[in-house]
Amino acid sequence: MRVGIEGRTLQGRTYGVSRYLKNLLRHFAERTADHQFLVYLSSALPGGVDLPRPDVIRYRTLGMRPTILWRHLRLPLAMKKDGVDLHFSPSYFLPLLKVCPSVVVVHDLSIKVHPEWFSAEGRFRFDDIFWREVKRAERIITVSLHSKRDIVSFLGVEEGRVVVIPEAAEEHFRPLREEERLEAVRARYGLGERFLFTVGAIHTRRNLERLITAVARAGSMLGEPLQLLVLGAPAPFTPPVDIWGTAERCGMKDRLVVVDFVPDEELVLLYNACTLFVYPSLFEGFGLPVLEAMACGTPVACSNATSLPEVAGDAAAYFDPLDVEDMAGAIARVLEDSRLREELSRAGLRRAAAFSWSRAAEETIRVCEEAVG
């Protein structure tokens, strides 16, 4: 089977969908005896950007600016010319011109469930024509049972066409006991010995304003000024999130650190260096940072909403993301109880180990084979 994959998400920084695709490609590469994988890019990658397994996966640059015409005309025509048997889309989008069977990954339906969280431009991009093409796919892959229920309910897709294949933390997310390196990364970002950490694009659904308020409140409960590191850049197609105004109003301005991006080697260090990882999201399709933190042995406190209990299992301290007092109480409870932190750390390591990118790749290929028939 020759699989054509839209790979434009590989052309920027490693965020959600690009991380997802890179991990699948690394493991697809182990299965090239039976299948060929052809990844389409819109332009050559700049120096220093690594493509997964170029020794066995073929990358093709189509040489056209990444416009609507690229996705809806240039890409399908190239696939037809290359004799592609199946189009695998890792991120929602399928072309209007269908030249072969397709499998599409729908990570979440937040824009359908909560359109008020998105700008008019974002809602326009995900219009009815867009969803019509998604529904034409032979199979839809999603990453949690929660997302599957949304897809069946909001898109009206038959349940049997939607397959759940969870994500996983990569192998380099692991516990580190190298105190010198941990000390250095704290110093680099102006962090103290004890700090809280959260990761994710800055978006309304990430609930950062309530988190900042809850951290200030937890600090008052403990009689300890708490520091919070937020790692993430503003997400496209979302109204502005008033991080700094919130921090000023609740006395957190001098104890809030915001960084838009770090390379993976520093991300691993930050997960290991923090005292507690907090994930207050109102809505997730999966919630990969929770697993990454757990894989590093870091205690996790997270929202009890949408997919997060499905991902974190019994290995997190949960709170209601709409209730600042409940969030603050969960944070304070973990911070003041070293035994609880140790229990969460051990449970998190076990939980993270239950997920596997190798298994995800194997199951994804099986779904692609079924789609071709």
Taking the chain (373 residues) in runs of 10, the rounded mean pLDDT of each run is 92 80 93 90 69 86 79 93 97 92 96 89 74 92 98 95 98 96 97 97 96 98 97 90 97 97 96 98 97 98 98 98 98 98 98 98 96 93
Question: Which residue from 129, 132, 98, 126 is spatially nearest to 113, judged by alpha carbons?
Answer: 126
Cβ-count burial of 68 within 10 angstroms (0-12 exposed, 13-18 middle, 19+ buried)? exposed
CA separation for the pair 214, 151 (Å, rounded): 32
Total-model pTM:
0.94
Phi-psi region of 257 (alpha: psi -120 to 50; beta: other; left: phi over 0): beta
pLDDT tens digits for 94-112?
Answer: 999 999 999 999 999 999 9
* pLDDT for 46: 58
Q: CB atoms < 10 A from the CB of 373, how many?
A: 6
* pLDDT for 133: 87
Which CATH number is correct for 2-168+356-372, 3.40.1260.10, 3.20.20.70, 3.50.50.60, 3.40.50.2000? 3.40.50.2000
* pLDDT for 48: 53
Q: Where are the domains of the chain?
A: 2-168+356-372, 179-353
Which residues does 186 contact at the CB level (< 8 Å), separation at least 6?
192, 193, 195, 273
* pLDDT for 39: 95
282, 207 in Cβ contact below 8 A?
A: yes
Which CATH number is correct for 179-353, 1.10.287.130, 3.20.20.70, 3.40.50.2000, 3.40.50.410? 3.40.50.2000
Beta-bridged to residue 22, according to DSSP, are none
Which residues does 133 contact at the CB level (< 8 Å), separation at least 6?
93, 94, 95, 96, 98
